[in-house]
Structure 1
Amino acid sequence: MCGLLGILTANGNAEDFVPALERALPCMRHRGPDDAGTWHDSDAAFGFNRLSIIDIAHSHQPLRWGPEDEPDRYAMTFNGEIYNYVELRKELADLGYKFNTSGDGEPIVVGFHHWGESVVEHLRGMFGIAIWDTKEKKLFLARDQFGIKPLFVATTEQGTVFSSEKKTILEMAKEMNLDLSLDKRAIEHYVDLQYVPEPESLHANIFRLESGCTAIVRPGGKLEQKRYFKPRFPVAQVAKGKEQDLFDRIARVLEDSVEKHMRADVTVGSFLSGGIDSTAIAALAKRHNPDLLTFTTGFEREGYSEVDVAAESAAAIGAEHIVKIVSPEEYAGAIPKIMWYLDDPVADPSLVPLYFVAAEARKHVKVVLSGEGADELFGGYTIYKEPLSLAPFEKIPSPLRKGLGQLSKVLPDGMKGKSLLERGSMTMEERYYGNARSFNFEQMQRVIPWAKRDWDHREVTAPIYVESTGFDPVARMQHLDLFTWMRGDILVKADKINMANSLELRVPFLDKEVFKVAETIPYDLKIANGTTKYALRKALEQIVPPHVLHRKKLGFPVPMRHWLAGDELFGWAQDTINESGTDDIFNKRAVLEMLNEHREGVSDHSRRLWTVLAFMVWHGIFVEHRIDPQIEDRDYPVEL
């Protein structure tokens, strides 16, 4: 796990940008404190921070490689891990290629030489890749299928700059003549959805290469992006009596994925939240590491923690368990630091406990496994059961369904059946926006009066729904979440918050081979017997302890509603709003009214308030340069 930074210049003056690159590189030293390096020729300059996991003594980057007749033809920087690198190395060696290291990076560039851009289809892992071909004069960029690893890009008349973290691009903005204006549409998207959807960032001229995509850039040219990974979720059937065959396939592929994800020259631990996903990963990891350490977090307020269940699970699988308890004071104190690490705000309160449990884990291990992705791949969210309850509405003619929707609007709030009528009157494209939404349009206009009437979630989701035409209803929801909630929230916090602690997080559920099995699960085996992830649960019956098998996953739940109404965070929230220089974005009086309404119990505004507060802290750091995130041991400026 590492951090890459580079520039492909438009005018062949890469040497001029090396000082700026060297100044910006320490901004993400947390991604790779073990080693750093730079390289440049006339067209390109690369920088790298390394967290040494595999082939620790070698595999330095930027990595140079070329065939015997063209030595050093390629320069590569790579962030991530390739879990099938042993098999790839053998395959390419059998074709006659020579290797200079034993790490997982060199097979990528050798594979690029042999297979070209399609090398990504041979990689099993998580990655952000940049390869400069000095002969063909082209830069190749790539991200893994699911978007586990980030890659930010910006292009000006000076050239194209790319990085694992946006803050390094901000640091080079002056040399790049990069306009750092905020994107108001992206702000609307964030306020509504709690995250900034790909490919946007909050800065109008910086974007993200999308998950499952590659790109080619030539000096002075535009970035040409191409999608190589398209989830399909084919309409699948399992013959009666053959269900166990499917369950066995799921168990086998998960065991293989965990075994591959355990490949490292350092100690690997596991997060354990108490739910079925993380427990399954930890139980399988224990088979490969008898001394497995597991980690979880909780809060001082009773009833908001899975600490006891996680400890019970750890005991059942025989793992040594370590717990970090987070106080409200620690929580509030860490928020500026976390927003700095995130690059763009994500309004997910679980970011903070994740930061603390990652910091605790880093005292003991360098790599942890986690259960992210199981819900999206195997149908785990409770909302995925909604198509069953709304199925009768599908038989009603469209005009009558719309009439039911109008009827729902005149029914009193809280009346039984009102929500069912409202949602049943809408198509899935109209009603389902993914797993998070803070504001409806009327609520949004209360806090950002300039919000445009033409905005709703379909601006983000409509193109994704087109791709899922013909999928079963649950698969359509899974497909949407893969491209919105998972890569906008789940994987951003998985990467940024763990990397903030120089800790590599690996996610065995989000594996290309696991997905090949998961996408074949039929509708009736995802949601069955009144539960979610039915096929996965059946596959894990011999792997996870019985007390976990049918338990609802809670992750790291945060008592945000209570804290914002009480003494724990009310004063902090009030000060954050009053001191924020976001008057041109938010109606701060309306936000303060929401805070008071929340404290008085008039309405639960906790999710909406947290969305605004997270943005205000982010703005105070990156735009106003008023808030010091207090990053320890830094040798770069506070003002980015």
Structure 2
Amino acid sequence: MCGIAGIISPYPQLVVESRLHDMANSLIHRGPESEGFYLNDTHQIGFAHRRLAIIEKNSQGNQPFQYLHYTLVFNGEIYNYKELKIELGKVGYHFQTSSDTEVIPAAYDYWKIKFLDHLDGMFALALYDANEENIIVARDRFGEKPLYYYADYKERGRFEKFLFASEMKALWAAEVPKSLDGTMMLNYLSLGYVQNPHKKMATFYSNILSLPPGHYLKIFPKEGRVQMRNWYRLKYEAPDLEISEKDAIEKFQLLLNNSVEKRLRSDVTLGASLSGGIDSASIVSLMQKNGAKDFKTFTAIFPGFSNDESKKSKEISNHLQLSNYTVTPTAPDIYSELQHLCYHQEEPFQSASIFTQYKVYQRAQQEQVTVLLDGQGADEILGGYSKYIQWFLQYLFRTDKKLFKKEKPLFVDNYASFQWTWSNYAAAQFPNLVAKKLTNRTIKSQNSLPFNQEFIAHYQSTDILEKPNIFRPEDLMYYNIARMGLEELLRYADRNSMAWSREVRLPYLQHELVEFLFTLPSHLKFQNGFTKSILRKSVDNILPENIVWQKGKIGYEPPQKQWIQSDPMQGLLFAAKEKLVQEKIFQPKILQTHLPSADAHSTNNLDWKILNSSFFI
């Protein structure tokens, strides 16, 4: 895992080496072990790299990496690098290292831009082809690794400088202006949105863009020109209604097992994040099956809190005979460390759950575990959230009323947070009407909050909400993966792990596994009142029954409400209100407005959003 950065210009001598050093220094947490730089003869192309060595720990794996006439900087892991080296070796390519880095330029040399299709991994990369005089900047399929960029256009259609980096702080280190996007901030404060579904590239800073997952840029340095192309789109077609449950389970088991096996490839210490749920429990059990021994697991616990996971995580650890290390974040912790967390996150986040994850990775650093496997992504690909249940029942109501009558009471009984009413059915029948109604309701809500009227007038947009057309629950799952939802969670995981120089790997996001699940009919994921049915049946014989078939969903939830109600946090909240008044975002009356504290998963958490946003203004 690493940090990458670069500067490109059509004008000679415009790329300054000291600026590359500034960018690299800002990314030292992503790669504390070594740094490297590349600057071409005309000072028009410069790359910077910070390295956290995972595979091939010696200097042969350092970057920028030179291979033939290519120069590469790369952040991430290519899990199938061994298989690719064998395949490329058969057509004449030779490799001098045992690293995964070396396979990237060789794959590009052979397959050209189609090389991306052959990579099984998480990555953000920049590859300079000196012969063709162009640069490919690419990002992985689902957005596990970040890539931000800024283009300074002095002439129409021709940039003077193009900068890219793993984190925005590297761009700011190169004196890219830090210009807050008021519309994004308004939508965050009023809706809790941290993404714009209509503008996938948008960030909270109006001049900095995020390269969307599954996309690449082709940069022509001499011309000062950039092209963006979509190289991956998740396949989503009609479900395979002929597949049997037995065959589906067997293939799912094979794909998930293979994903875990490849994600165990490492020359450093491995461990895992462990909650009290089936997602992470399944991963750690498969780690053991694939030969990982005596690895450490890490869990956040909150004794006495209603959603504490200590009992379940301990049961899983004992059952699998694993060492489990716990951390208990507190109100004093978040009070003293929130600024540091926000520095690493760079953009607002929805709740204090992100702080909990951040402390888990800190605990892993303390135990000298560098790579952690994690169960993130399972809810999105297997339908784990309660919102998917209502759409499954919608689907049954329209296609199989007998099964609907059977499943509805089972889901209502198993998931306390789930409710199904006739309004759900109406929403499915008239999505455009509902979207318009929600937009009007949102604007009314924004106008009812004590925002500064000039702020509202300048940044309020009617193009706020997007209501996808949903027939099956997979329609919403696809939307959350491809449009809005998953990328946000991946940002949190990347920044939190990298803050402590840890690497997180997500077996559920192996692309062939995800694609396979989208070929399955809904009833293989939602069955007998349970979500993730295919996963539960796949691990039913290796995990305790009460873990596999536990009712409801355990959220990654801290006692946020109690934290914010503590005196130090109330003082911090008042200071945040003052700052937002000073910045003319809120009217002064917000200072006298009592904001009720809300739980981490509540959408009515204006107190948290005000507190959090103040660190980014």
Q: Under a length normalisation based on structure 1, what TM-score does the superposition of the two structures give?
A: 0.84
Q: Match of 2:562?
A: 562
Q: Match of 2:475?
A: 476
Matched to 1:376, the amino acid is E
Residue 179 of structure 1: how far off its partner (Å): 4.2
Q: Match of 1:381?
A: 385
Among 360, 367, 374, the residue aligned to 1:370: 374
Matched to 2:375, the amino acid is G
Task: Go from structure 1 to structure 2 and tell me whether the alpha carbon gap of 1:92 and 1:430 turns closer, same or farther (over 3 Å shift).
Answer: farther
Q: Match of 1:573?
A: 573
Matched to 1:569, the amino acid is M
Task: Go from structure 1 to structure 2 and tell me whether the alpha carbon gap of 1:165 and 1:582 turns closer, same or farther (over 3 Å shift).
Answer: farther
Q: Is the 8 A contact 2:331 2:566 kept in 1?
A: no
Task: Go from structure 1 to structure 2 and tell me whether the alpha carbon gap of 1:431 and 1:128 turns closer, same or farther (over 3 Å shift).
Answer: farther
1 CA distance for matches of 2:256 and 2:434?
Answer: 33
Task: Go from structure 1 to structure 2 and tell me whether the alpha carbon gap of 1:429 and 1:340 turns closer, same or farther (over 3 Å shift).
Answer: farther
Matched to 1:576, the amino acid is A
* SS of match in other structure, 1:160: strand
Residue 487 of structure 1: how far off its partner (Å): 3.6
Among 113, 118, 125, the residue aligned to 2:114: 118
Matched to 1:343, the amino acid is E
Q: Match of 2:585?
A: 585
Q: Is the 8 A contact 1:300 1:326 kept in 2?
A: no
- Which whole-Å deviations, capped at 9, do the CAs of 1:457-491 have from their partners, x for residues lacking one? 43xx46xx4xxx7x852111001111344444210
2 CA distance for matches of 1:592 and 1:109?
Answer: 60
Larger displacement relative to structure 2 (263-272 or 310-319): 310-319
Task: Determine whether 1:135 maps to 2:142.
Answer: no
Q: Match of 2:411?
A: none
Residue 7 of structure 1: how far off its partner (Å): 1.0
Q: Is the 8 A contact 2:331 2:564 kept in 1?
A: no
2 CA distance for matches of 1:105 and 1:429?
Answer: 47
1 CA distance for matches of 2:543 and 2:471?
Answer: 29
Task: Go from structure 1 to structure 2 and tell me whether the alpha carbon gap of 1:558 and 1:456 turns closer, same or farther (over 3 Å shift).
Answer: farther
* SS of match in other structure, 1:79: strand
Residue 573 of structure 1: how far off its partner (Å): 1.5
Q: Is the 8 A contact 2:79 2:265 kept in 1?
A: yes
Q: Is the 8 A contact 1:370 1:505 kept in 2?
A: yes
Q: Match of 2:232?
A: 229
Task: Go from structure 1 to structure 2 and tell me whether the alpha carbon gap of 1:519 and 1:582 turns closer, same or farther (over 3 Å shift).
Answer: farther
Task: Determine whether 1:515 maps to 2:522.
Answer: no
Task: Go from structure 1 to structure 2 and tell me whether the alpha carbon gap of 1:532 and 1:570 turns closer, same or farther (over 3 Å shift).
Answer: same
Task: Go from structure 1 to structure 2 and tell me whether the alpha carbon gap of 1:588 and 1:564 turns closer, same or farther (over 3 Å shift).
Answer: farther
* SS of match in other structure, 1:31: coil
Residue 555 of structure 1: how far off its partner (Å): 4.0
Among 146, 153, 156, the residue aligned to 2:142: 146
Q: Match of 2:3?
A: 3
Task: Go from structure 1 to structure 2 and tell me whether the alpha carbon gap of 1:420 and 1:515 turns closer, same or farther (over 3 Å shift).
Answer: same
Q: Is the 8 A contact 2:378 2:384 kept in 1?
A: yes
Residue 394 of structure 1: how far off its partner (Å): 6.8
Residue 195 of structure 1: how far off its partner (Å): 1.3
2 CA distance for matches of 1:418 and 1:509?
Answer: 29
Residue 202 of structure 1: how far off its partner (Å): 1.3
Q: Is the 8 A contact 1:259 1:285 kept in 2?
A: yes
Task: Determine whether 1:80 maps to 2:80.
Answer: no
Residue 8 of structure 1: how far off its partner (Å): 1.2
Residue 133 of structure 1: how far off its partner (Å): 1.1
Matched to 2:538, the amino acid is A
Q: Match of 2:496?
A: 497
1 CA distance for matches of 2:213 and 2:139?
Answer: 6
Task: Determine whether 1:94 maps to 2:97.
Answer: no
- Which whole-Å deviations, capped at 9, do the CAs of 1:490-522 have from their partners, x for residues lacking one? 101110001000000000000112113211121
Q: Match of 2:179?
A: 181
Q: Is the 8 A contact 2:214 2:232 kept in 1?
A: yes
* SS of match in other structure, 2:508: coil
1 CA distance for matches of 2:282 and 2:274?
Answer: 9
Q: Is the 8 A contact 1:591 1:609 kept in 2?
A: no
Task: Determine whether 1:317 maps to 2:320.
Answer: yes
* SS of match in other structure, 1:362: helix
Q: Match of 1:290?
A: 293
Residue 542 of structure 1: how far off its partner (Å): 2.4
1 CA distance for matches of 2:134 and 2:376?
Answer: 35
Residue 112 of structure 1: how far off its partner (Å): 0.8
1:458-469 matches, cutoff 5 A? 458=465, 461=466, 465=468
1:300-449 matches, cutoff 5 A? 301-364=304-367, 365-390=369-394, 420-421=422-423, 424-425=426-427, 427-428=430-431, 440-445=442-447, 446-448=449-451, 449=453
2 CA distance for matches of 1:472 and 1:103?
Answer: 45
**Aligned alpha-carbon RMSD (Å):** 2.7
Q: Match of 2:51?
A: 50
Q: Is the 8 A contact 2:579 2:614 kept in 1?
A: no
Q: Match of 1:277?
A: 279
Q: Match of 2:408?
A: none
Task: Go from structure 1 to structure 2 and tell me whether the alpha carbon gap of 1:578 and 1:380 turns closer, same or farther (over 3 Å shift).
Answer: same
Q: Is the 8 A contact 2:4 2:47 kept in 1?
A: yes
Residue 129 of structure 1: how far off its partner (Å): 0.7
Q: Match of 1:194?
A: 193
Task: Go from structure 1 to structure 2 and tell me whether the alpha carbon gap of 1:159 and 1:521 turns closer, same or farther (over 3 Å shift).
Answer: same
Q: Match of 2:533?
A: 534
Residue 193 of structure 1: how far off its partner (Å): 3.8
Q: Is the 8 A contact 1:201 1:207 kept in 2?
A: yes
* SS of match in other structure, 1:49: strand
1 CA distance for matches of 2:486 and 2:342?
Answer: 17
Residue 418 of structure 1: how far off its partner (Å): 11
Residue 264 of structure 1: how far off its partner (Å): 0.2
2 CA distance for matches of 1:82 and 1:375?
Answer: 24
- Which whole-Å deviations, capped at 9, do the CAs of 1:537-584 have from their partners, x for residues lacking one? 222212332221123442431222233345463333223322456532
- Which whole-Å deviations, capped at 9, do the CAs of 1:94-115 have from their partners, x for residues lacking one? 1111222210011011111111
Residue 430 of structure 1: how far off its partner (Å): 6.2
Task: Go from structure 1 to structure 2 and tell me whether the alpha carbon gap of 1:423 and 1:170 turns closer, same or farther (over 3 Å shift).
Answer: farther
Q: Under a length normalisation based on structure 2, what TM-score does the superposition of the two structures give?
A: 0.87
Residue 455 of structure 1: how far off its partner (Å): 2.5
Q: Match of 2:462?
A: 455
Among 215, 240, 255, the residue aligned to 2:257: 255
Question: Structure 1: any 5+ residue segments left out of the alignment?
Answer: 67-72, 396-416, 620-640
* SS of match in other structure, 1:509: helix
Task: Go from structure 1 to structure 2 and tell me whether the alpha carbon gap of 1:347 and 1:589 turns closer, same or farther (over 3 Å shift).
Answer: farther
Q: Match of 1:299?
A: 302
Question: Structure 2: any 5+ residue segments left out of the alignment?
Answer: 154-159, 400-418
- Which whole-Å deviations, capped at 9, do the CAs of 1:183-237 have from their partners, x for residues lacking one? 2222234332431343111111110110011110112433211112112332213
1:629-640 matches, cutoff 5 A? none
Matched to 2:343, the amino acid is W
2 CA distance for matches of 1:345 and 1:367?
Answer: 26
1:621-632 matches, cutoff 5 A? none
- Which whole-Å deviations, capped at 9, do the CAs of 1:276-316 have from their partners, x for residues lacking one? 10111111112221212110012355324212211111111
Residue 592 of structure 1: how far off its partner (Å): 5.2
* SS of match in other structure, 2:71: strand
Matched to 1:353, the amino acid is T
Task: Determine whether 1:207 maps to 2:206.
Answer: no
